[in-house]
Amino acid sequence: MSADSSPQRESSQNGVRKHVHPLHTVPITNAPKGKIPNTPLAASTVSFILGSVFALGSSAFLAGGLPGSCWATYQLGFYVASWAAFHWGEFAVTAGWNFEKCSVDSFLLENGTMYHIAHSVALTEYLITLFFKPSWKGFPYISALGLVLVVLGQALRSMAMIHASTNFSHSVAFQKREGHRLVSDGVYAWCRHPSYAGFFYWALGTQLVLQNPLSFIAFTVILWRFFYHRTRGEEGALINFFGDEYVNYRRRVGTKIPFIP
């Protein structure tokens, strides 16, 4: 077979790379920057690990806790299952509806040091409290409220990514690409930044499930500050892209994140 007819070749048309092989994971835009190798093997391995974590966590949740273990509670099971589902879902939705930007980075597993510190602190608070004051984790209605927030937040974020399709990016775009349009229908007709709002409520929901008062407050403050500054910067770029069309849209539709207009 000649090089020109190889199924793994790259073709170029109008300066845009097109990957012929279906297992290519090199995005056309936003080259991978993480330490995880950007290969199909790495993507499948990460998916297997996340699936295993999800299965173990779901088993603990559905069983009301793993037998013989005082720490593997239904709350912790739901927390780790929702964490695994979130990261797998980020890659799956990108692969299905935004393939040109899909890479192993789409799992968002290398989402910054503060992200991993926050989850580590949350787990530490939960386990320490469970060991010394297990009665403080005995309010099922709080966990139930958190469960609802997690499910709704995940659904909102995934729907936003699916509906925006190739207009969505995990990183803020400061240059308008050809074909980039302002998405203002569907879920975006109700919420201006549904992917941000979805993650905001998903993250707070996880802390309600764990009944972590300190982490809940910390998550609220840190996420609010992050999304406040993120939306200000992103909306400045969107005004440059779309002008009055975006200004009018912003006037009509709120962010649905408290105190972020």
CATH number at residue 180: 1.20.120.1630
At residue 9, does pLDDT exceed 60?
A: no
Residue 186 lies in a domain: yes
**End-to-end C-alpha distance for the chain, whole angstroms:** 59
Checking if the pLDDT of 3 tops 50, the result is: no
Q: Is residue 145 part of a domain?
A: yes
Report pLDDT for 7. 37
Residue 202 falls inside a structural domain: yes
Domain-located, residue 98: yes
* Domains of the chain: total: 1
| Residue 53 pLDDT | 98
Banded model confidence at residue 155, pLDDT cuts 50, 70, 90: very high
Domain that includes residue 118, residue range: 36-252
In a domain, 213, yes or no: yes
Residue 23's pLDDT is 53
Task: Taking residues 102-130, report their average pLDDT.
Answer: 95
pLDDT tens, residue by residue, 67-91: 888 889 999 999 999 999 999 999 9
Is position 25 within any domain? no
Residue 238 has what pLDDT? 93
- In this predicted model, which residue has the larger pLDDT, 133 or 33? 133
Average pLDDT of the segment spanning 130-157: 97
The predicted pLDDT at position 166 comes to 86
C-alpha torsion sign, points 104, 237, 175, 180: positive
176-226 per-position pLDDT tens digit: 666 678 999 999 999 999 999 999 999 999 999 999 999 999 999 999 999
Asked, for residue 28, whether it belongs to a domain, the answer is: no
Question: pLDDT band at residue 163, thresholds of 50, 70 and 90?
Answer: very high
**Domain for residue 2, yes or no?**
no
pLDDT given at position 21? 53
Q: What is the mean pLDDT of the chain?
A: 89
- Contacts of 201 by beta carbon, 8 Å cutoff, 6+ apart: 149, 150, 152, 153, 156
Query: Residues 19-32: pLDDT tens digits?
Result: 445 556 666 666 78
What is the value of pTM for the model shown?
0.88
The answer to whether the beta carbons of residues 214 and 153 sit under 8 Å apart is no
Where does the pLDDT of residue 112 fall: very low under 50, low under 70, confident under 90, or very high at 90 and above?
A: confident
Mean pLDDT of 139-168: 96
Tell which wins on pLDDT, 181 or 251.
251
pLDDT of residue 176: 67
The 3-class SS string of the chain reads CCHHHCCCCEEEECCEEEECCCCCCCCCCCCCCCCCCCCHHHHHHHHHHHHHHHHHHHHHHHCCCCCCCCCCCHHHHHHHHHHHHHHHHHHHHHHHHCHHHCCHHHHCCCCCHHHHHHHHHHHHHHHHHHHHCHHHHCCHHHHHHHHHHHHHHHHHHHHHHHHHHHHCCCCCCCCCCCCCCCCCCHHHHCCCCHHHHHHHHHHHHHHHHHCCHHHHHHHHHHHHHHHHHHHHHHHHHHHHHHCHHHHHHHHHCCCCCCCCC
Check whether 43 has a pLDDT greater than 80. Answer: yes
Long-range contact set of residues 95-99: C-beta below 8 Å, sequence gap at least 24: 96/162, 97/161, 97/162, 97/165, 97/166, 98/161, 98/164, 98/165, 98/166, 98/168
